[in-house]
A and B are shown apart, each in its own frame.
Chain A
């Protein structure tokens, strides 16, 4: 019985990790940029919601929408002014610049919000749980998972059903030829980063609502996101969801055996996947 509960918790946790990972996957997929500040952007998103709630006195939904807008602008501007300049064959510039951003965001947040741990309050919603047979599932984890699915559905719709999505994919395949179709790379990349930042803001919302956070937890969340992406296989958002769920399950089961092993169990599953299937479990075939 305890195991059924563990598995359900693991899957729900996986939803959170999938949310963490989606933005990372998106950015890598479109512009081959690995954003080492991804985790810190999620924390920034969480703080943005926090500001909405605590400083502006808004409701959590309104704050989240505001944070989403804020992150959209941050993403667009950052990509447009800074990150587009790092793209190229050399992988060191994007890596180093995003690492630099990571340090800057962490310390900026420390300066602005101190090192205290925070939590986003969802007005008691955290306490609600749903009874499914003999298993009770928290409403918040369920909502997280549901949000992950909705986000991925929306993104897939965007990618596969809209002209802008086609332009994203074309640019991702071959940015030079995409220009010949009249697609402006810089604009597309900036738009992609802005979009990814909205997802990051959503991830930040749940990051803050489901557990405590402080300015320095970004890197560890980046690692979870990264593991979910790799386990799932590059290039497919549903694969990322599956990767998140597998990671969540591994951590939940590890924690069930010994609470100290939660993170370690996730890492070990990740390394195992890497050894057995270096391209991930559900890679999309590309040319």
Chain B
């Protein structure tokens, strides 16, 4: 990462700083030229200047706007005719008539554009030509101006013009010569105006947008450029310029015919060749081209036809051999620019990165080039069709893909990058996540790659790994008093799996089950209607854009989610609250950690509380040789310019050992975010994971919550896609998961704040000389009353960190309230202990199914194992035969799968330990209905009078049919 403050964006180049003043001098010299040079030279200059004007206008159209017109003679002619009309028929001063004609030409361009813009590419070109022909024929009907034979400008008109009489006397000229001089001044002014305006316009944001359209219309549209409006603006401007030029040219010529005013050769062919030969898409090109044309014309003035043949051949050859023209060639060779319209990034080091493709600034990555004779397969002609499109292959997207595939729902998953996570990132894998892996049959695969609970939990607070240990907290359920809570809550153990190892297991399973995964494929945009979402995606390797049509789309595209942005999901909170860096390194730290194994070692040093997640962290990635340091920076100052040596210095400072071999393997920067979406979905698009909850890693909740988002949504999608549930069921996704997202974002950010008091108590909040720091830290070791209070406070603050590391209630305790949960009329059970720290199992509708061990035959299974797998489960007891029948009825009624279990002695499932009797909270004739995501959605304490009717009624509400 780079320190952005050292960079600046500049337009100018060295040549431009020299050339622009020179150009100014040249214009000044030209303005005084009539004093010294002859009339014929003035007329030559007049020719060159009007070519520059027309060429620049056409260049703007074709070179920047991509509007290849061969009909600009329409506006030259119209401008000329309007000028004559204004001057002769209305008696306007010719200057006023010319300006009015320019405006009239621009006005004419608007309705013309409405018609010709309906044509694309080459047909647009001929369409503009036809439009010009129409104008020619119409103006030829203007009998007051001579109809088809034309007319001439009475010399009285020119004589009366402002400036002409002055010029006559000042320069001692005849009227006709004075008219030439005034025309010359006018065209000079227009040339400066057009070139200058084009220059400023192209440097502006609109100009950038225009270039973006030229480079890639679809991409430009996707970043919000209004293509049609930008094109129209350019078309009108170019027409305005052409009309003004037409007025001036024919004022000078003093006579007009429709054929001359609307000549395609004169006003378009020449102009086109000028631009192409000079260099299309540059401001310098048309000027160079005009000079070359003038030279050629003088050289070959006696061979008019051969001159034209040569011109056509030269232009064609230039197009084929050097399509960027002479100036393009010069530019490529010498990196030369008089009018720098492209922005470049200027930094402290050379080489200077040159962001010369303007479209990049509007977010389009570089397309892959085409090499030599390679043939590139064009865009596929087909759209991929699927039921669910998943954007992103992280924990949320991967889990969604695996779950949908396990339910038999066809899905396609796209991922912007070439493969899965390349940094360890998330690692704490809580029991709920493991339960999902267990259902998918990959729990053992995950365990094999994990660091077990026992090695996770000596959360050390120290001044460095080698330094003083301030305190230690047994975390992740490792304290004996908490171990039972964790063990009782789930059939699965919490563990630590770096995201780099977690994702391949989940995504691999998804693909094994049928997910079609497309990597290096990025989401571009989407549209949706009542039945379909069509996403435009781009294969970044092939630079091909194609579409995926799906019935639903899942936006699991991370904290920078474009889908959430395109949907306009309302967000609260802010991004980039603090800055943080991850430094991955390899070092054998066994000496410092083996006696106190943990995933996290918190380092309290002066400065380690700045930015970041509360304190410096040394995180175990693999025991005990792969590590990751988390260190903060102030977000206001931006990410520091971090060399490997700097990184090593930070790492050594945290370890407190200058001797131990350390190898830095990777550095990356991220920010602490505090943002949650107020809505998770819109229409047929559902966002999940970091796209909708963005928060720091504290509490280790991000990846876990993402997996649960997927677990909540996928079965609902399955049922709706199968037509077995109403679309209303999908609303419950938002209602159930949004409060969870909001809760964990708040929780994780709060956990950062809880480090403040520890720093304060240790006297580390402000810097000072080492001995001073030492003295402050040792203050708590004195046998004084004040020190005792300090010791007590510190102990309390460290214990409070259980809210980050033993937050079992936040991890497992979600109780959903939504349409997909039918209350049973009982009040919500209270919380006997702290609701964040402790998980309170219950079968109250909305809560997660409590785990207890039961026996089926000789096999010990969890109640959790009985539920899930895309089907409903109905638990009842010895006296619940009525529910068994009701389950069968409901299954037939809705066509969904409901697995009914009777639990108790003599039943299919034996409550050997008697735990179910305690946990179920129902009588032997009652029932508990559990959704495919293991949440209780309805229960009945005792047998109902009409079990089938009640169950069907409850399911009807849950499935969104009432």
Residues of A within 8 A of B (CB): 33-34, 36, 82, 85-86, 90-97, 99-104, 106-108, 110-111, 174, 176, 179, 219-220, 222-223, 226-227, 230, 260, 263-264, 267-268, 270-271, 274-275, 278, 287
Contact = CB atoms under 8 A, between A and B. Distances in A.
Contacts of A230: 119, 123, 127
A270 B130 contact: yes
B310 to A, nearest CB: 9
Best-surrounded residue of B70, B276, B312 (most CB of chain A within 10 A): B312
A118 B742 CA distance: 85
Contact of B319 (A92, A179, A227): A92
Contact of A92 (B68, B138, B308): B68
Nearest to A277: B118
Interface in B318-376: 319-320, 323, 375-376
Contacts, number: 125
Contacts of B265: 103
A264 B70 contact: no
B320 A86 contact: yes
A266 B375 CA distance: 43
A85 B320 contact: yes
Interface string B421-448: 0000000000000000000000000000
A227 B119 CA distance: 12
Contacts of B375: 176, 179
B320 A93 contact: yes
Contact of B377 (A95, A176, A263): A176
Contacts of A106: 308
Given A34-B125, A36-B70, A271 B119 contact: no
Nearest to A265: B137
Best-surrounded residue of B119, B123, B306, B375 (most CB of chain A within 10 A): B123
**B interface, how many residues as a size bin?**
35 or more
A227 B125 CA distance: 13
A104 B70 contact: no
Given A95-B68, A99-B70, A275-B115, A219 B264 contact: yes
Interface of B: 62, 68, 70, 114-115, 118-119, 121-123, 125-127, 129-131, 133-134, 137-138, 140-141, 148, 264-265, 269, 272-273, 276, 280, 305-306, 308-309, 311-313, 315-316, 319-320, 323, 375-378, 381
B313 A104 contact: yes
Contacts of B305: 107-108, 110-111
Nearest to B141: A260
Contacts of B140: 260
Given A96-B315, A101-B316, A267-B133, 19 more contacts: A36-B126, A86-B320, A92-B280, A95-B125, A99-B70, A103-B308, A103-B309, A104-B309, A108-B305, A174-B381, A222-B126, A223-B126, A227-B130, A260-B148, A264-B134, A271-B131, A274-B118, A274-B127, A287-B381
B682 to A, nearest CB: 31
Nearest to A279: B118
* In the A-B complex, the 6 residue pairs with the closest CB atoms: A34-B122, A100-B312, A100-B316, A103-B312, A107-B305, A278-B118
A34 B137 contact: no
B788 to A, nearest CB: 79
A101 B68 contact: no
A219 B73 CA distance: 14
Contact of A226 (B126, B131, B376): B126
Contacts of B127: 230, 274
A100 B313 contact: yes
A176 B378 CA distance: 8
A33 B126 CA distance: 13
A36 B280 CA distance: 20
Nearest to A96: B319
A107 B305 CA distance: 5
A227 B127 CA distance: 9
Contact of B133 (A263, A278, A287): A263
23 contacts: A86-B320, A92-B62, A93-B319, A96-B276, A96-B315, A99-B70, A103-B265, A104-B308, A104-B309, A108-B305, A108-B309, A223-B133, A226-B123, A230-B127, A260-B140, A264-B138, A267-B130, A270-B130, A271-B115, A274-B115, A274-B118, A274-B127, A278-B118
A107 B306 contact: yes
Given A219-B264, A223-B130, A267-B130, A96 B123 contact: no
A275 B141 CA distance: 24
A79 B862 CA distance: 76
A107 B309 contact: yes
Contacts of B141: 260
Contacts of B121: 34, 91
Nearest to B270: A103
Contacts of B313: 100, 104
Contacts of B311: 103
Given A264-B138, A275-B115, A95 B308 contact: no
Contacts of A264: 134, 137-138
A245 B503 CA distance: 66
A176 B265 CA distance: 37
Contacts of A85: 320
B122 A91 contact: yes
A36 B306 CA distance: 20
A28 to B, nearest CB: 8
A162 to B, nearest CB: 25
A111 B377 CA distance: 45
Contacts of A90: 323
Contacts of A36: 70, 125-126
A81 to B, nearest CB: 11
Contacts of A93: 319-320, 323
A275 B114 CA distance: 8
Contacts of A227: 130
A116 B269 CA distance: 23
A71 to B, nearest CB: 20
A111 B306 contact: yes
A107 B308 contact: yes
B315 A100 contact: yes
Contacts of B138: 264
A91 B68 contact: yes
A100 to B, nearest CB: 4
B122 A94 contact: yes
Contacts of B381: 174, 287
Nearest to A85: B320
A287 B379 CA distance: 13
Contacts of B123: 34, 226, 230
B956 to A, nearest CB: 44
B94 to A, nearest CB: 29
Given A219-B264, A274-B127, A268 B315 contact: no
A263 B269 CA distance: 22
A271 B74 CA distance: 15
A112 to B, nearest CB: 10
Contacts of B122: 33-34, 91, 94-95
A227 B319 CA distance: 27
A74 B431 CA distance: 78
A270 to B, nearest CB: 6
Nearest to A35: B122
A201 B86 CA distance: 47
A179 B133 CA distance: 41
Nearest to A28: B122
Contacts of A34: 121-123, 125-126
Contacts of A220: 133
Best-surrounded residue of B309, B311, B323 (most CB of chain A within 10 A): B309
Nearest to A229: B123
Contacts of A104: 308-309, 312-313
Contacts of B134: 264, 267-268, 271
B224 to A, nearest CB: 24
Contacts of B316: 82, 96-97, 100-101
Nearest to B126: A226
B119 to A, nearest CB: 7
Contacts of B115: 271, 274-275
